[in-house]
Amino acid sequence: MSEIQRITLDNGVRVLVEPVGHVKSAAIGLWCKTGSRHELDNEAGITHLIEHMLFKGTEKRTAKQIAEAIEGQGGSLNAFTDKESTCYYCRTLADDVANGVDVLSDMMLHSLIDPEELNREEGVVLEEIKRSVDEPSDHVHELHLENRWGKHPLGKPIIGTPESVASFTPEDIRRYMDRRYRAENVLLSVAGNVTIDEVRKAAEATLGKIPHTTVDTELSRPSGKASKNQINKDVEQVHFCIGTDGTSVYDKDYYTLVVMDSALGGSMSSRLFQEIREKRGLVYSVGSYTLSYSSGGAFTVYGGTGPQHWELVQELVRAEFDKIMASGCEEEELARTKRHISGNIVLALEGMSSRMMRMSRNELTHKRDIPVEETLKKIENVTNESIIELANRILSADLVSTTAIGPFSEE
């Protein structure tokens, strides 16, 4: 990998650049270390709404001109919000990086937050909430975290609620941005055919005057409770999440959970996929994933099955939990799983967007570059004994909760 170069502007904005000379493009990310977990009780969903609003027009560009400024030059533009960060990003040709930085910076710093546009965009998000509820395979994941973590900030849905979203005013938006969109929370990262000098010049011209000083609150670790929540809905399948608390990004057994997750449900060769889909044909999709945040995390098995198979699927998931608690992974299985994870990491580095995302998350989380070799070594160092220890700590029946949406009786 090429060396990642880092500078800090006078106001505290961080800039990361990974030059990759053999490509003809660049991926640009303008990040703010703010997400739904930073919202006050009366701000549920405001971070996500702001992400929408920054595309709606600035002092010098209309919404259409924002899109045309990137897409008209052969690039693409998008954004996302999660529980701890927000990212506005674009792909550009190599000779259009300065324009990409200018457009993203203009959106972040000079958006109009027009009242009519806000009212219209609140309607868009309300439709997004309705769509999510109408898609039980998506909605069950949000419900699962809400049920497990309750009122903890990491348990709140990123999208907010219909009541909260409909209540926001331009003043609410500006107040939140004044509090969270501060220089030390802002990171510009670029990976591709660029030089540090051209990115520095573009960053200083656009981001150098963001005010600084903000305060981040420390979060307590969310502690989930075992429960079973079945929501009756007129659908054909039971859509489910079965899970427990996981690791934070800082925990020493973070990579142990990554390996255990992959062995249980991270691929077509995983235990759950082979046992429940391939061997028995009880599901179309089944898998698992981890969520790791600064103060905690979750491990979740998910899928969809016919109501007549729901009890059996739960028993089979429990059986796989019990097996990995008792004996971990077989030697060949462990080696294959590590190779699968490591291969995915290396293959992802073929893309500039993945490189940009990787170095950005490392900086926001660990405040340093983590060489891919270091990551691969930590994966390789995971032992079967550590998997058994972690499994016994998090997968016992009295710690696991279940959330399901399906055609259950009203009894």
3-state DSSP: the chain helix, strand, coil percent, rounded to 5?
Answer: 50, 20, 30
For residue 218, the model assigns a pLDDT of: 83
- Whether the per-residue pLDDT at 285 is higher than 60: the answer is yes
- Whether the per-residue pLDDT at 11 is higher than 70: the answer is yes
Query: For the domain bounded by 228-406, which CATH number is listed?
Result: 3.30.830.10
For residue 410, the model assigns a pLDDT of: 61
Q: Is the whole-model pTM more than 0.75?
A: yes
Summarize pLDDT for 97-115 with one digit per residue, the tens. Answer: 999 999 999 999 999 999 9
Mean pLDDT of 329-335: 97
Instruction: Share the mean pLDDT of the chain.
Output: 96
Confidence class for position 184, pLDDT limits 50, 70, 90: very high
311 φ, ψ (degrees, to nearest 5): -65, -40
CB 292 within 8 A of CB 300: no
CA distances 374 to 18, 38, 344, 381, Å, are 18, 31, 15, 11
Report the alpha-carbon distance of residue 93 to residue 89 in Å, rounded.
14
For residue 215, the model assigns a pLDDT of: 73
> Rounded to the nearest 5 degrees, what angle is found at the Cα of 164, between the Cα atoms of 139 and 87?
65
> Rounded to the nearest 5 degrees, what angle is found at the Cα of 147, between the Cα atoms of 141 and 151?
115
Mean pLDDT of 163-191: 97
Say whether 228-406 and 5-207 share the same fold.
yes
Summarize pLDDT for 57-66 with one digit per residue, the tens. Answer: 999 999 999 9
The domains of the chain are located at: 5-207, 228-406
- Whether the per-residue pLDDT at 411 is higher than 70: the answer is no
Q: What percent of the chain has pLDDT over 90?
A: 97
Annotated catalytic residue, options 51, 121, 122, 320: 51
Mean pLDDT of 303-320: 98
The three-class DSSP label of residue 99 is: helix
Structure tokens at 378: 């930590």
> Is 320 in the active site?
no
Confidence class for position 208, pLDDT limits 50, 70, 90: very high
Fold of 5-207: Cytochrome Bc1 Complex; Chain A, domain 1 (3.30.830)
Largest CA distance in the chain: 67
Strands 238-245 and 186-192: unpaired
Mean pLDDT of 18-30: 97
Report the alpha-carbon distance of residue 177 to residue 344 in Å, rounded.
36
For residue 71, the model assigns a pLDDT of: 98
Q: What percent of the chain has pLDDT over 70?
A: 99
Mean pLDDT of 70-75: 98
SS (H, E, C) 377-399: HHHHCCCHHHHHHHHHHHCCCCC
For residue 1, the model assigns a pLDDT of: 57
> Which contiguous run of DSSP H or E holds residue 120?
helix 115-134
